[in-house]
Amino acid sequence: MGWFGLRAKKDAEQDFMEKVFVHWDGMYRYALRLTGNESEASDLVQESIAKALQHFDRVRPDTNYRAWVYTIVRNAFVSRIRKGDRLSLVEDIDVHAAEPDAPVGSVMELLGNDKFKEGFEDEVLAALQDLPEAQRTAVVLCDIEGLDYEAIAHVLDCPVGTVRSRIHHARKRLKQALVGYARARGFGNVESHG
C-alpha cells in the first residue's frame, strides 16, 4: 500500500462514517472554542466535513483520523482568518514566554465558596477564548477533547515540545485570568502562590 493508497469504493461510506463522521461533535466543540460563536462553529464544521469527504480517499489507512479531522477544522479556521473574515490574528507563544507565574492557589480554593462558583464555567470559557489561538487549540484538544500531545502536535504542525510549552503557558494565562475574575467578584485578597 502506498502513502496514498486508494481504498475500496464499496467500503467508502461505512469507512468514512466510522473514522471521520463519528468525530463531528468533537469537531463542533473545537470549532466553538475557536470561533466563540455557535453559528460560525456550525459553518466551520460543515466546511470541514465537506473537505474531509473530498480528501478521504487519499488519506493513508493508518492515519490518526481524530487528529486529522481537528487539523482540517483548524486549517479551515486559520484560512478564514487569513481571508479577513474576522477575528484576531494568531498570536505566537513566545510573546508570553516571560510572563510571571500566576497567583492562583487561593483562586482555586475559592471554588469552595458558593458566591464564587456561580458563573465560574462561563469564566473558564471566556478565559479560554482570550488565549492566543495556538495555546487555545493545545488546551482545548488536550483538556476537552482528550488528545495526547503527539496528536496535538500533528494538528498544530509543530514539535511535541512546543505543544508542551504552549499548554504550560496557556494554563498560566488561564490561572491569571481566574485571578482577575476573583478580584472582579470582590475577592480582593487573592494571594500569589506557586
Unique residue bearing C-alpha cell 493513508? 60
Measured from the CB atom, is 71 or 178 closer to other proteins? Answer: 178
- Residue numbers at the binding site for other proteins (CB under 8 A): 9-10, 12-13, 16-17, 21-26, 28-29, 32-33, 38-40, 42-43, 45-47, 49-50, 53-54, 101, 104-105, 108-109, 111-112, 114, 117, 120-122, 124-125, 128, 139-140, 142-146, 148-149, 164-165, 167-168, 171, 174-175, 193-194
| 65-82 helix and 38-55 helix, angle to the nearest 10 degrees | 120
Angstrom distance (rounded) from CA 63 to CA 20: 11
Shortest Å distance, C-beta 155 to other proteins: 15
Measured from the CB atom, is 49 or 155 closer to other proteins? Answer: 49
Query: Distances in Å between the alpha carbon of 176 and those of 54, 85, 99, 107?
Result: 42, 30, 10, 9
Angstrom distance (rounded) from CA 171 to CA 43: 29
Measured from the CB atom, is 1 or 8 closer to other proteins? Answer: 8
Shortest Å distance, C-beta 127 to other proteins: 9
3-state SS string for 109-138:
HHHHCHHHHCCHHHHHHHHHHCCCHHHHHH
Shortest Å distance, C-beta 71 to other proteins: 18
Q: Are 69 and 20 spatial neighbours (Cβ–Cβ below 8 Å)? A: yes
Shortest Å distance, C-beta 35 to other proteins: 11
Measured from the CB atom, is 43 or 91 closer to other proteins? Answer: 43
Q: Coil, strand or helix: which one is 2?
A: coil
Measured from the CB atom, is 89 or 117 closer to other proteins? Answer: 117
Measured from the CB atom, is 13 or 85 closer to other proteins? Answer: 13
Shortest Å distance, C-beta 72 to other proteins: 13
**Ranges of H-type helices in 56-119:** 65-82, 105-109, 114-117
Centre a 10 Å sphere on the Cβ of residue 126 and count the other Cβ atoms it contains: 13
Shortest Å distance, C-beta 66 to other proteins: 8
